Amino acid sequence: MTTDRAALVGRFLWSLGNFASSFGLRFVSNVILTRLLDPAVFGVMVIVNAMRLGIELLTDVGIEQNIVRHREGAEHAFFNTAWTMQIIRGFCLTSLFLALSPMLAGFYEVDTRIFLAIAFAPLLTSLHSTSVFLAVKNLEVKRRTLFEFSAELAGFIVTLCLVLAMPNVWGLLTGTLCAIAIRSMLSYRLPHPGHRLMIDRGYARQILKFGGWIMVSSVIIFAASNLDRLTLGKIAPLALVGIYGLARTMADIPALMARRLGYQIIFPMLADAKSRGDEAMVGSVSPARMKLVLLAAAVIGLGVGCADWAVFILYDSRYADAGWMLSLLLFGTWFSVLSNFNEALLMGAGRPAYETGANVVRFAVLAAGLWSGYLWAGVAGAIAAIVTAEVGRYLFVAHGQRREHLSFFRQDALATLALLAVVGVWVGARLLLGLGDPWRMMLTGLK
């Protein structure tokens, strides 16, 4: 095994370990919190967190992507210019969020104080050290993994203690803010150039120039990723929104893993190779990518076939409908996994516009089908629109890959057939054993 391949395997294993530990903590936290809190509390947090993410993505100029791709990203002037711009942006976004909070609270019929409190999240987030991004630039996956795990563990402990003391939305909300603050504080323990507030006009212009597509893409990604939560938050009961939010959170796990692998390993590797004129790097990614997508197909196929059992075992009867929702959502997750891998390839090749276009397609399909799907068949109809939107996103990215000579369409087709085979085996075995299919409760939860 070559040194490069050994390094790639090592980074992959550390990224996988990072995700596994993060998932484990969030999973344990989620199971415990659902025992302590009513589904309606989670419904409120689904709405609030979706709005928080939307605010945070406004004016996103890709500070991380700029530091990772720029040859001078670790230089003192560039590093601190990016850090200063990040803090200014966080302050402005919190001010905007505070101003919008009364209107948002009235629209969703939620206590105004809840929106006013979460409005400080963008500022707390912006205060973290940009050394986190240097770890990505330098492919220091181990260091980034240990940092993320430490931050999430501390946040988990604090949130759990607060919810035990205040078993309501305020305990969960305060825990969220504390977890963000803890992560920001711990980030300064990572190696970095000395921090100093400064703006180098030349570097600032470069950051804004490259960040133009990132900013547009971030807003569109938010809209495409959270339109379901924001729409259901308005038209569905809060308890149902909370149950759907639980299913959506679990369904997003494989896609988040794919995005993390793509943007912490594939993107910086290809960006570095492009800067050195190394055209052979893309070919070296292909075998590892095939193994990854086949593994994802097996895991997601198993999830589709057994989602209702997992929810039944882990959660109480109030959350039973999350089982069939999760099973259906995982079909959309599959195409999201493929899209995340492919978008990272295109980003590494310096083509961020395709990600933006793909999410425009995704948003357009959701906007056209989400509301009508819910009115037609309840949550099941909304999920059908989500799956269709993910297919549209994938096809647009695949078209971009073909134009840029970075296509992995055959790999994706084979892996999709493998996914369907796994689902067929599991569902067929369940029916033969008289255990029913994963969607048997769907008819009682359509409206």
- Cβ pair 139, 197 in contact under 8 A: no
Is residue 351 classed as helix, strand or coil in its secondary structure?
coil
**Residue corresponding to tokens 């933006």:** 356
DSSP 168: T
- The residue among 370, 383, 372 whose CA lies nearest residue 325 is 383
- Cβ pair 355, 397 in contact under 8 A: yes
Residues in contact with 421: Cβ distance below 8 Å, sequence separation at least 6, in sequence order: 301
- Sorted by where each begins, the domain ranges of the chain are 1-211, 236-437
Report long-range pairs for 110-119 (Cβ below 8 Å, ≥24 apart): 110/44, 110/47, 110/48, 114/44, 114/48, 114/169, 114/173, 115/48, 115/51, 117/173, 117/174, 117/177, 118/48, 118/49, 118/51, 118/52, 118/173, 118/176, 118/177, 119/55, 119/94
Q: What pLDDT sits at residue 27? A: 78
Residues in contact with 64: Cβ distance below 8 Å, sequence separation at least 6, in sequence order: 130, 132, 133, 136
How would DSSP label each residue in 105-157? HHHHT--HHHHHHHTTHHHHHHTS-THHHHHHHTT-HHHHHHHHHHHHHHHHH
pLDDT tens for the chain, 447 residues long, are 445 556 556 666 666 666 677 777 777 888 899 888 899 999 999 999 989 888 887 767 778 777 877 777 678 888 889 899 999 999 999 999 999 999 999 999 999 999 999 999 999 999 998 888 887 777 677 787 788 889 989 999 999 999 999 999 999 999 999 999 999 999 998 887 788 899 988 888 888 877 776 777 777 878 888 899 989 998 889 899 999 999 998 899 888 878 777 666 666 666 565 555 555 555 666 777 788 889 899 999 999 999 999 999 988 888 999 999 999 999 999 999 999 888 877 876 767 778 888 989 999 999 999 999 999 889 999 999 999 999 999 999 999 888 888 888 999 999 999 999 999 999 999 999 998 899 988 765 444
Q: From the CA atom positions of the chain, what is the Rg in Å?
A: 22
Cα-based angle 230, 233, 237 (whole degrees, multiple of 5): 165
Q: What pLDDT sits at residue 179? A: 95
Report long-range pairs for 427-435 (Cβ below 8 Å, ≥24 apart): 427/304, 427/305, 430/305
- What count of residues does the chain have? 447
Question: What is the phi/psi pair of residue 383, to 5°?
Answer: -65, -35
The pTM of this model reads 0.79
Question: What is the phi/psi pair of residue 139, to 5°?
Answer: 55, 40
Q: What pLDDT sits at residue 268? A: 62
- Cβ pair 326, 307 in contact under 8 A: yes
Element (H, E) at 213: helix 201-235
User: How many C-alpha atoms does 88 have within 13 Å on its Cβ side?
Assistant: 13
Q: What pLDDT sits at residue 447? A: 43
Distance CA 93, CA 56 (A): 7
Q: What pLDDT sits at residue 417? A: 97
Which tokens go with 162? 């607060």
Q: What pLDDT sits at residue 365? A: 94
Residues 416, 422, 428, 430, Cα dihedral to 10°: -130
- The residue among 21, 290, 281 whose CA lies nearest residue 141 is 21
Q: What pLDDT sits at residue 443? A: 60
- Cβ pair 141, 265 in contact under 8 A: yes
